[in-house]
Amino acid sequence: MDSNSLKRLREWFKKNAAELPWRPADLDTLRDPYAVWISETMLQQTQVATVREYFIRWMKRFPDIETLAKASEEEVFKYWQGLGYYSRARNILKTAKAVTLEERSSDRVHKKTLPSTRKELEALPGIGAYTAGAILSLAHHQREAILDGNLVRIFSRLYALDFLPTDSRDSADAYWNYAREVADSPKAYMHNEALMELGRTMCKVKNPDCASCPLQNACRAHLENRTAEFPPAKKHLQKDWHGTVLIVESADHKILAVHGGQKFFKNQFTLPHFESPRNATAGLPAQAERYIDADKVQSVENIGKFRHSITVHKMECDVLYIRLNKKAPAPTSSETKWVRRESARDFFANSFSLKALERLLHRTDKP
């Protein structure tokens, strides 16, 4: 991208930059690395409009990395609830703990901040090439490149690239080389963020606003009237999954939660669930006996279905409400927990479990 195009891009961004809770009014100011890290992690696979309130709420509760490191995983999940991809939240907590536990005597560690080199950042859980580049660029004004879906779309159209960075190592290198060209400037931080903004607001997947784009005169796809061809379509592998979710309620009105051993939620508490055929037989499934004693079952009722998506999995689940004739037993391990029914909504941090619970809680207000 030539200097004139970059100048037009900067001027456009200064006039059109949206007000965002993680973006300072002065676009040239250095930013808090922690805030950049949290916002960019939240923005992965999530729309800006959704992230706004989550970011504000998060920063009020966890204003710095040291406060975050002291939090439990359950509380972090609670503040992440609704953003999905819970591995991101888990990695954020792991990184916070790793940074604050270091005992080297450098100023960075003494101040308990994120490192300021790409190599150190990418060695931390959940921080990849894009996030590391964003932290170094926006928070430290280093000449570091970033590459996300917005920039891939822009570069594909600018240079009429009929391949994606996921196609091969050479394809990825080609895109990263264009990203490094943009970042090879004292204004790298502004170029990077301006391109993200351009992709989000103007160079959209569908119906891009080419007539108002500051890069229209440099864009091959636009000049050749081929914008719709770029980037090339990505092949998605969709996997259908059908399962059964158990809401097990004891005689003293407690709901069973399990931790570990679940296909999609291995490291957080969730309602018990397992893969099952669409036309399962009535009654207590054999898989349920992994969690409860069949002799203590008072009734089993199918109370509905719900749909859910996790990565490439398109899920349809039956919800079985199982009432026991005994009080909740004392937990025999950290893998199970009995939660009072009235507290269940607050306890479960994943929307998968909450969707199942809604089938019960909306069905009746009576225990």
263 CB-side CA count, 13 A: 14
Strands (E), 207-265: 239-249, 254-259
Burial of 26 (0-12, 13-18, 19+ CB in 10 A): exposed
Catalytic annotation, residues: 40
Q: Which letter does DSSP use for residue 297 in this model?
A: E
Largest interatomic CA distance in the chain: 77
- Helix (H) or strand (E) holding 178, with range, is helix 169-183
- Helix (H) or strand (E) holding 270, with range, is strand 269-270
Cis geometry, peptide bond prior to residue 186 (ω within 30 degrees of 0): no
Strands (E), 295-342: 297-310, 313-324, 336-340
